Every structure is written in structure tokens, then in C-alpha cells.
Amino acid sequence: MAPIPPSQKRPLGNVMVIGGCGFLGHHIIAQLVEDYKCKVSVIDIRTVRNRRPESDGVQYFDADITSMESILPIFEKTKPDVVIHTASPTLAGGTKELYRKVNVEGTKCVIEACQKTNVKALVYTSSASVIHDNASDLINADERWPVIPAKNQTEYYSQTKAEAEHLVLAANRSESYPRLLTTSLRPAGIFGEGDVQVLPPIVAVHFNNQTGFQLGPNTNLFDFTYVGNVAHAHCLASLALLTTSTLSTKPLDNEKVDGEAFFITNDSPVYFWDFARAVWKCAGSEKDTRHVWEISQDLGMAIGGMLEWGFWLVGRTPKLTRRQVRYSCMTRYYDCGKAKRRLGYRAKTGLQEGIERSVKFILEERKAESEKKGQ
């Protein structure tokens, strides 16, 4: 895409990105720097990776969001107008305690810091999993679908994300701090350059020559969302909240962004195994589907269960788990129409381009790694 000329860059004031060195966070920073007129600062637990060059003028602060003493001085120093809160342990990478500490306690701290320093807009990165019970299908789900209550939520990560989202939305125009506007974005299946959860395991299947299996009949549609589009939605949400904060009256119910949650997808659900095959193809596979052995969901669950049991005895996790079987057989896609209508969101990068960029990134990493090993 052609760079936006400076005169057309829209102003966002002082923007603070929490988790700005993370996977999603650093894509948001890239867009802020390239497409908006704003002064960007970053809070992250460690700011060594994914840093912008000095010339971009991004300020980096090492801080722990679970501690008020740690972040408040930074807020006071940088005086953010907009705070984008993306920090969270990954779905696979945390313990229960960590999820609660960072997602719930951390978010409480962030909200409080925003309120104390007169921040105008807080954009929270929630997750599309807050309405998912990890077993049932989600068919064209939109924001009317209920958030799964804690007692029915089998994924602790999602439970803490839902709690945090609730706190953030409750802080919108609160009685004691009516000036703070908040919104929550729920991206579905983020992939892209730097992703550790979605694409690397899929690419690994290709390099391990395991593309010959298919769990389920592959009629299930699934949402995968390119990280650049998710970052774009965060910028749009920031802009919308800032605009709202200048209005003297509240926006109409069917137009408002503050106090609302939005699903963010690539607006093109695809069949689960088609996505995987498109990734394998991009990684170099020339196979069609003649070599593929289709395993029914029931059989897959049985095998997964046995493997889990067997590996549990030796204290490890198998490559095939019942959870994976369920996920590769379920329908899970959303309708992002609300974000399109109210935020003006469009998935600027299509799935094909998103896959190409991300797989290229993974292949380059692999190459660099093997060169390192070779030395």
C-alpha cells in the first residue's frame, strides 16, 4: 500500500500501547507510526524485542501493569490521550495464576491509571473466545451472542479475558470518571508475522510430512484474521473514541462505539482444512488431496483420548489432543458487520496476502535458525 502523505494523517494525540512489543502490539505501533499523526509510547514487561528504530520517536518503558507504582509515573509523564491495552499471556503460554494476575488485576490497574491521568480513550484487546464454550459451534455469531459465564467457561484464559472486558466496558462513562470512554475488540484467530499460536504449528505439520490426515469432513467454516487488520481496527476504534470525546452529546445507540464490544475478523470465513492447505501450499507443498486420509471426529476423539492418557502416564502432552480434534471439526465464525458499520472497518489485507506474508516470515526465521545451527 502506498504510504499516506503527512497532510492526510489523522491525529490521535499521545498514544500509549500496553504490550507494544508483543505480536499484535508491534503491528499496531507500525500502523500508528506510518498512518497517523501521534506521539507513541510503549509499556511492556520487557521492551527488548520488536522495537521500532530510534528515528520513529517511539518511547519504550519497561513496566509491570499489575503494579500501580510501576505504571502510574509513566502515565503521568507521557500524558496519553489514548491507551491501547493489548497485553496478555498467550492462550498456551500461561498458568491460571498468571492469566488472572495479568488479564484481570493488570487491566484493573490500567483502568485506574487511565482514570487518574485523565485519559480520554481506552481500547481493550479482548478475544472472540469470550462467547465460546470450546465445544459448541459458533455459526455467524455477532455481538448479540452471550458472553460465556465463568461457571460454563472451560478455558480459563477466555474467562479472564471476559472478566477484564467487563471491567473495561463498565469503566465507560463511569459515575466517578465520566470522561473516560472505553471499547473492547474481540479478534478471532489472529495470525501474521511474529505469531506463535496459529501458523507455526500448521507450518510444522507440513515440514513433518503429516499433511496426509484430515480430521472431520472439512465442511466447517472458521475465521482466521490477519494481524494487520486487527491492528487497523484498534486504530479505528481509538479514532472513534477520540471523536466521541469531543461531542457534547452522547452518540445514538446504533452508532456508538464507547461501551461497546466488536468482533474483528477477516470477513471471509474458510473451511478449516482449506486454510491449513493454503498455508502448506505457501510453505512449498505441491500436494492435492489424493493422499489425504479422512479421520472421522469420533475416531479422532478416541485416538486423542488414548494418546492423552498414555502421554499423561509418562508426563507429557501428545501431538494430537481431543481439544485439537474438537477445534478442527467445529464451525467457528463470526459476523463482523457491527465493526464495519460503526468503526468503518474493512479487512484491508485479504487471507491470501496475509498467509503469504506470514509464511514468508516463518520460512525466513527457519532459514536464519538453520544457518545459526550450521555455523
Residue 250 or 348: which CB sits closer to another protein? Answer: 348
Among 140, 154, 174, 296, the residue binding another protein under the rule CB under 8 A is 140
Smallest distance from another protein to CB 120, Å: 32
Regarding 296 and contact with another protein (CB under 8 A), the answer is no
- 288 binds another protein, rule: CB under 8 A: yes
The residues annotated with a catalytic role in the active site are: 161
Q: Which residues on neighbouring strands pair with residue 18, listed in sequence order?
A: 43, 85
Give backbone dihedrals phi and psi of 72, rounded to 5 degrees, phi first: -55, -45
Q: Exposure of 70 by Cβ count < 10 A (0-12 exposed, 13-18 middle, 19+ buried)?
A: middle
- In whole angstroms, give the CA distance from residue 104 to residue 89: 12
Piece of the chain touching another protein by CB under 8 A; list 10-18, 98-106, 177-185, 272-280: 272-280
The nearest distance, CB 194 to another protein, in angstroms, is: 21
| Cell numbers placing 8 | 492526510
Strands 225-226 and 190-191, how do they pair? parallel
172 close to 114: Cβ distance less than 8 angstroms: no
> Should residue 284 be labelled a site residue for another protein when binding is judged by CB under 8 A?
no
Nearer to another protein, 239 or 351 (CB): 351
**Sign of torsion over alpha carbons 116, 244, 183, 253:** positive
Quick one: which segment of 15-23, 74-82, 139-147, 242-250 binds another protein (CB under 8 A)?
139-147
- Name the grid cell of 95: 498458568
Kindly tell me which residue out of 56, 274, 364, 369 binds another protein, with binding defined by CB under 8 A. Answer: 274
Closest separation between CB of residue 233 and another protein, Å? 19
State the CB neighbour count (10 A cutoff) for residue 257: 25
CB of 286 to another protein, least distance (A): 7
Phi, psi of 307 (to 5 degrees): -60, -45
207 touches another protein (CB under 8 A): no
Phi, psi of 301 (to 5 degrees): -65, -40
Query: Measured from the CB of residue 106, what is the shortest distance to another protein in angstroms?
Result: 26
Chain positions contacting another protein, by CB under 8 A? 137-142, 144-146, 148-149, 151-152, 219, 221, 268-271, 274-275, 277-278, 280-281, 285-289, 333, 335, 351-352, 355
